[in-house]
Amino acid sequence: MDLNGALRLAAVRIVLSGRELIAPLDLVVASGEQVTVMGPSGCGKSTLLAFVSGTLDPVFNASGRVLIGETDVTALPPERRRIGIQFQDDLLFPHLSVGENLAFALMSSVRGKEERRALVQQALIEAELDGFVDRDPVTLSGGQRARVALMRTLLSEPKVLLLDEPFNKLDAQLRNEFRRFVFEHAAARGLPTLLVTHDAADAAAAGGRVIRLGNG
Amino acid sequence: MTAQHRSDWLRIAPAFTAGVFLLPIGAGLIGTVLPAFGYLPAIGGNELSLAPWRVLVAHPGFATSVMLTLGTGVLTSLLAVILSVGFCAYAYGRPWARRIGAWLAPLLSTPHSALAIGFAFLILPSGWIVRAISPWLTGWTLPPDVSTVGHHTGLALVFGLLLKEVPYLILMIVSALNQVPAREHLTIARALGYSRAEAWVKAILPQIYPQIRLPIYAVIAFSLSVVDVGLILGPSNPPTLSVLAVRWFFDADIQMYFPAAAAACLQLLLVIATIVLWFSLERLLVIVGRRWIAAGGRDGLLSRLTLPTAVVTFTLFVVSLLAIVGMALWSVAAQWRYPDALPQAWTWANWMRRADSLPALSWTTLLIGMLATAIAVVLVLACLENEGRGERAGTGALWILYLPLLFPQIAFLFGAQVLLVRLELDGTLLAVVWAHLVFVLPYLFLSLADPWRAFDPRYARTAASLGASRFRVLFRVKLPILLRPLLIACAVAFAVSVGQYLATLFAGNGRVATLTTEAVTLAGGADRRVIGAYALVQSLFPFLVYLLAAALPALLYANRRGLTRWT
């Protein structure tokens, strides 16, 4: 398997108060591949994502390594890992406009107001939200906010995409559309994607391998 | 694994903060206990002895002072609890009570001494209430020859203390109510046939009591040992114990320092004893209360009691308002003779005359308040941010936080001053800021802790995944979203600083004058126009800061409706 840019989990084990939540897990997600993690509630799916993104609560005891391509990111703080994460709530910052939310993701590499504005504009067009740049996020519909949230993550040019049940809050119709939106963009950018869900339809739509945690 | 990312300098924040105010308290206590037993080499006390205690006990009126202190303190505490509980039991769930927090907060920002000064004017024999009803109702063409303010029973003091303590406890109860599913439990209890008031007292009060226990103890400690309100409303001879101690402390005869320290020690013992007694009563009430609740009585005395207590509490609010209005009127009165209900002539002259002294005083008050608040904010934010990475501060930390509020101020400010004199820091602005910080910090922490901890952690996680450093997350995401709770907490802290009397007096060694120290000193005087001006400015300051704190986020985020969850 081509490991170039792949997400690799090596012997990841997570323990909570003596109870093993996640048995030693080895996983490789290749560039552009989408892997689904499924399991019942409380089996540790979200905890696994937290570990990968570097925001695991200290009450957990975790061991193992996370690698992106050849780089070991296990010791890096979350802001340096270049691992994007989407939650089931859009979590657009309420104090910023839609455009400012998108621009927030641009900090590190992009300089110059013009270039930033252009990138934000491009992202909005891709999300079919042209003209929304100064809008208050709370005035957008659920589906629109979800699209903005994904574009925000993609603007930070992540190397890996983590999805923590991101389609949960959307109704059936929106769900299909948004799912397609996410997977298309992830595939187009060649991002290894790790999707956590309890909905089998999501796994089917992703079309990749399915890992089961817990008893499932 | 994320432990590696915990900033090391942030970890010392809780310990450092605790040190900032445990140190003065500890040093202060030692500095008070030692002289109480005769040891203070600086003024000739070289060996331990019981002489100060003998002087204290032999003082004429000593027994009365102690009785008075205990009487007013215990009565005030009991009434404060009964009134606040009764009011909440009556008001909870009713539509007009929904924004009660917003209405009470400005009242709480008013310094207690300002309220006391205004209240004194209301109830004096020649005061506003009598003026309003004389002589047409009472026939009094001259003020009646009775004593209200300074009455030997201390009832004026009790009432004056309740003016602020009842709203304080109500606010503590309201915030405790957010931690339990109060509305649901109330609904269930009422569906079972209990009246609203009974349901509240039997189902909800037991659940929230652990959270209001420390505020109640703080009220007990304050009621027993308050000095500024005692000076304004309490009897003069013999006064309460802490007033006596302060008087002796500043006595021309420096040897009076020792009995003063002894009185302060005794004050501490009284507070401890009362809190222990209250705690035992709690235990007793639990046993009795359980049986009472289990007995299932539904239409008892309780439902009939809450309306009267609510009415009394409302009266307190109205009285507070009148107190401030009265002071405002005096400040612009050219002449206000008895028995006129309103001044005959109005003038700005009172304010013009104060134009020399007020600005300087106001500036000092403002500076101390801002410095104390700023330092407290940095420390509290450091502690709260450190929390977010792991262990949350437990009950032990809460007790430490409450310590400055549980010890009578006089018991450790004495000794703190000795320490400051030693370090040659007494009388400096720095010393006063530090003394204020000791009291400002607990209130700031308590104000900010809940909103801060309730912040959705996924915002920070999302921001981090977008590449934002911890600093950027704090300043660009967390602080802007939590701006309103932060500003309100700062307004609370600032109000606490403005209202400080003893702390300024001792740490400043009488050399630093703030609006409150001046107002309390003037309160004994005869020209109410002067007092009115000072008391009004004293009240306006924190109130304006509070308005700013409430309004600023609304202005900044006028077009951001998503923030209304925190506003």
Residue A110 has pLDDT above 80, yes or no: no
A43-52, B83-92, B341-350, B385-394, range with the lowest pLDDT:
B385-394
Q: Using CA atoms, how far apart are residues A126 and A113, in angstroms rounded to an integer?
A: 20
User: Torsion over CA of B6, B7, B13 and B16, rounded to 10 degrees?
Assistant: 120
Q: Out of A46-60, A117-131, A139-153, B139-153, pick the least confident.
A: B139-153
Report yes or no on B385 lying in a domain. no
Within a domain: B492 = no
Residue B333, pLDDT score: 83
Given the cut 0.95, state whether the ipTM is greater than it: no
CB atoms A79 and B469 under 8 Å: yes
pLDDT, residue B217, reads 94
Q: Do A91 and B469 touch (CB under 8 A)?
A: no
The mean per-residue pLDDT over the stretch B267-285 comes to 94
pLDDT over threshold 60, residue B565: no
Please provide the average confidence, as pLDDT, over all residues in chain B: 87
Q: How close B480 gets to chain A, by Cα (Å)?
A: 7
**A108: which residues sit within 8 A by CB, 6+ positions away?**
A156, B467
Put simply, the answer to whether B5 touches A93 (Cβ < 8 Å) is no
Residues in A whose CB is inside 8 Å of some CB of B read: 50-51, 53-59, 62-63, 74-75, 77-85, 87, 89, 91-95, 104-105, 107-108, 136-139, 152-153, 156, 158, 162
Q: What pLDDT digit, counting tens, does each position of B195-222 carry?
A: 888 888 888 999 899 889 999 999 999 9
pLDDT on residue B215: 93
Q: How far is B379 from chain A (nearest CA, A)?
A: 23
Amino acid identity of residue B106, one-letter, is: P
Spatial separation of the C-alpha atoms in residues B391 and B385, rounded to whole Å: 11
Q: Which of these ranges, B13-27, B109-123, B163-177, B380-394, has the smallest mean pLDDT?
A: B380-394
**Cross-chain Cβ contact A87/B462 below 8 Å:** yes
Full domain range(s) for residue B341: 61-347
- Residue contact B1–A53, C-beta within 8 A: no
Question: Which range (A149-158, B57-66, B144-153) has the least confidence?
Answer: B144-153
Which pLDDT score, from 0 to 100, does residue B356 have?
80
pLDDT on residue B317: 93
More confident residue, B189 or B136: B189
Residue B362 C-beta-side C-alpha neighbours within 13 Å: 16
Report pLDDT for B45: 78
Residues B79-106, buried b or exposed e (16+ Cβ, 10 A)?
bbbebbbbbbbbbbeeeebeebeeebbb
CA dist., res. B336 & res. B536, Å (int): 17
Q: Which residues of B fall within a CB distance of 8 Å from A92?
A: 562
Residue B4: the pLDDT is: 40
Residue, of B416 and B244, whose pLDDT is higher: B244
- Please, which residues bridge with residue B39 across strands? B46
Angle at A77 between CA A74 and CA A80, to 5 degrees: 95
Give residue B494's pLDDT. 94
| pLDDT over 50 (residue A28) | yes
What 3-state DSSP class applies to A70?
Answer: coil
Q: Which of A53, A58, A83 is nearest residue B390 as measured by Cβ atoms?
A: A58
Which phi and psi angles does B228 have, rounded to 5°? -65, -45
d(CA B477, CA A187): 30
Asked if B444 contacts B375 with a C-beta cutoff of 8 angstroms, the reply is no
Is residue B419, in this structure, part of any structural domain at all?
no
Query: What is residue B1's predicted lDDT score, i.e. its pLDDT?
Result: 35
* CATH number of B268's domain: 1.10.3720.10
State both tokens at B256.
Answer: 């009076």
- What mean pLDDT comes out for the span A118-144? 91
Contact residues for B187 (Cβ-Cβ < 8 A; gap 6+): none
Q: What are the angstrom distances between the C-alpha of A148 and each of A99, A165, B530?
A: 9, 17, 61
- Chain B residues within 8 A (CB-CB) of chain A? 1-6, 389-390, 456, 458-470, 472-473, 476-477, 480-481, 557, 559-563, 565
Closest residue in A to B566 (Cα) is: A94
Is B221 within 8 Å of B271 (Cβ atoms)? yes
The average confidence (pLDDT) of chain A is 88
How near does any CA of chain B get to the CA of A91, in Å?
6
For the ranges B235-249, B292-306, B319-333, B437-451, the lowest mean pLDDT is seen at B292-306
Mean pLDDT calculated for residue range B403-412: 88
Matching residue, tokens 């500076």: B367
Contacts of B512 (CB under 8 A, 6+ apart): B364, B368, B427, B428, B429, B432, B504
Residue B312, domain member (yes or no):
yes
Domain membership of residue B301 (yes or no) is yes
In a domain, B41, yes or no: no
Residue among A58, A83, A89 minimizing CB distance to B465: A83
Mean pLDDT in residue range A70-76: 90
B277, B296 Cβ separation under 8 angstroms? no
User: How many domains does one find in chain B?
Assistant: 1
CA B435, CA B508: separation in Å to the nearest integer?
Answer: 9
Chain centroid offset of residue A33 CA: 13
- Calpha distance A8→A5 (Å, rounded): 9
- Output the pLDDT for position B391: 56
- Report if residue B234 sits inside a domain: yes
Please state the rounded mean pLDDT for residues A126-133. 91
Q: In this predicted structure, what is the pLDDT of residue B5? A: 45
pLDDT tens per residue across span B476-512: 999 999 998 899 899 999 999 999 999 999 888 888 9
Beta-carbon separation of A87 and B458 below 8 A:
yes
Q: And the tokens for B554?
A: 């609304």
Residue B2 banded pLDDT, cuts 50, 70, 90: very low
Residue B7 has pLDDT above 70, yes or no: no
CB atoms closer than 10 angstroms to residue A155: 22
